[in-house]
Amino acid sequence: MHKLVVLYPEPADPGHFRDYYVTHHLPLVKQMPGLLAWRYSFEVASTPGQTPYFAIFEAEFADAAAMTASRESPQGRQVAADVANYATGGAVVIHYPVQDGA
Protein backbone atom coordinates (compact mmCIF):
# COMPACT_ATOMS: atom_id res chain seq x y z
CA MET A 1 0.00 0.00 0.00
CA HIS A 2 1.06 3.60 -0.61
CA LYS A 3 -0.17 6.48 1.52
CA LEU A 4 -0.55 10.16 0.64
CA VAL A 5 -0.83 12.63 3.55
CA VAL A 6 -1.72 16.31 3.31
CA LEU A 7 -0.99 18.53 6.33
CA TYR A 8 -2.75 21.89 6.35
CA PRO A 9 -1.36 24.81 8.41
CA GLU A 10 -3.85 27.24 9.95
CA PRO A 11 -5.85 29.02 7.22
CA ALA A 12 -6.85 32.69 7.27
CA ASP A 13 -10.54 31.72 7.62
CA PRO A 14 -11.01 28.37 9.43
CA GLY A 15 -14.80 28.42 8.94
CA HIS A 16 -14.47 28.83 5.19
CA PHE A 17 -11.84 26.10 5.08
CA ARG A 18 -14.09 23.60 6.91
CA ASP A 19 -17.18 24.39 4.85
CA TYR A 20 -15.46 24.45 1.47
CA TYR A 21 -13.36 21.37 2.21
CA VAL A 22 -16.34 19.21 3.16
CA THR A 23 -18.87 20.50 0.61
CA HIS A 24 -16.64 21.07 -2.43
CA HIS A 25 -13.15 19.58 -2.12
CA LEU A 26 -13.86 16.13 -0.70
CA PRO A 27 -16.50 15.34 -3.38
CA LEU A 28 -13.74 15.97 -5.96
CA VAL A 29 -11.33 13.72 -4.05
CA LYS A 30 -13.85 10.86 -4.11
CA GLN A 31 -13.68 10.86 -7.91
CA MET A 32 -9.93 10.17 -8.09
CA PRO A 33 -9.22 6.84 -9.81
CA GLY A 34 -7.41 4.17 -7.82
CA LEU A 35 -8.27 5.69 -4.45
CA LEU A 36 -8.72 2.78 -2.03
CA ALA A 37 -9.54 4.68 1.17
CA TRP A 38 -9.40 8.20 2.55
CA ARG A 39 -9.94 10.02 5.82
CA TYR A 40 -9.52 13.49 7.27
CA SER A 41 -9.67 15.39 10.54
CA PHE A 42 -9.90 18.93 11.83
CA GLU A 43 -8.97 17.68 15.32
CA VAL A 44 -5.17 17.66 14.92
CA ALA A 45 -3.26 17.61 18.21
CA SER A 46 0.43 17.69 19.05
CA THR A 47 2.32 16.30 22.01
CA PRO A 48 3.66 18.39 23.62
CA GLY A 49 2.60 21.90 22.73
CA GLN A 50 0.56 23.45 19.98
CA THR A 51 0.25 21.66 16.65
CA PRO A 52 1.49 23.43 13.53
CA TYR A 53 -1.44 21.94 11.57
CA PHE A 54 -5.12 22.79 11.35
CA ALA A 55 -6.24 19.71 9.39
CA ILE A 56 -4.95 16.44 7.98
CA PHE A 57 -5.97 14.25 5.04
CA GLU A 58 -4.85 10.67 4.33
CA ALA A 59 -5.38 8.66 1.13
CA GLU A 60 -4.44 5.08 0.35
CA PHE A 61 -3.48 3.61 -3.03
CA ALA A 62 -2.35 0.14 -4.07
CA ASP A 63 1.18 1.37 -4.81
CA ALA A 64 3.19 4.45 -5.83
CA ALA A 65 2.34 3.99 -9.51
CA ALA A 66 -1.41 3.99 -8.74
CA MET A 67 -1.02 7.14 -6.65
CA THR A 68 0.95 8.90 -9.38
CA ALA A 69 -1.57 7.89 -12.05
CA SER A 70 -4.41 9.15 -9.87
CA ARG A 71 -2.73 12.49 -9.18
CA GLU A 72 -1.95 12.96 -12.89
CA SER A 73 -5.47 12.07 -14.01
CA PRO A 74 -7.93 14.86 -14.94
CA GLN A 75 -9.65 14.30 -11.57
CA GLY A 76 -6.35 14.47 -9.69
CA ARG A 77 -5.35 17.68 -11.46
CA GLN A 78 -8.75 19.16 -10.59
CA VAL A 79 -8.23 18.25 -6.92
CA ALA A 80 -4.77 19.83 -6.89
CA ALA A 81 -6.02 23.02 -8.56
CA ASP A 82 -8.85 23.32 -6.02
CA VAL A 83 -6.53 23.54 -3.00
CA ALA A 84 -5.98 27.29 -3.53
CA ASN A 85 -9.71 27.85 -2.99
CA TYR A 86 -9.57 27.01 0.73
CA ALA A 87 -6.01 26.34 1.97
CA THR A 88 -4.78 29.90 2.45
CA GLY A 89 -2.17 28.62 4.90
CA GLY A 90 -0.74 26.29 2.26
CA ALA A 91 -0.46 22.52 2.29
CA VAL A 92 2.36 20.06 2.97
CA VAL A 93 2.03 16.88 0.86
CA ILE A 94 3.99 13.75 1.72
CA HIS A 95 3.70 10.16 0.52
CA TYR A 96 5.32 6.87 1.34
CA PRO A 97 5.02 3.10 1.01
CA VAL A 98 3.44 1.55 4.09
CA GLN A 99 5.35 -1.26 5.81
CA ASP A 100 3.37 -3.74 7.90
CA GLY A 101 4.50 -4.14 11.48
CA ALA A 102 5.69 -7.48 12.74
Give Cα 91 distance to the centre of its chain. 9
The answer to whether residues 89 and 12 touch, using CB atoms and an 8 Å cutoff, is: yes
pTM above 0.75, yes or no: yes
- Element holding 7 (H helix, E strand): strand 2-8
Is the CATH number of domain 11-97 3.40.50.300?
Answer: no
At residue 30, the 3 state secondary structure works out as coil
Predicted confidence pLDDT, tens digits, the chain (102 residues): 999 999 999 999 999 999 999 999 999 999 999 999 999 999 999 988 889 999 999 999 999 999 999 999 999 999 999 999 999 999 999 999 999 887
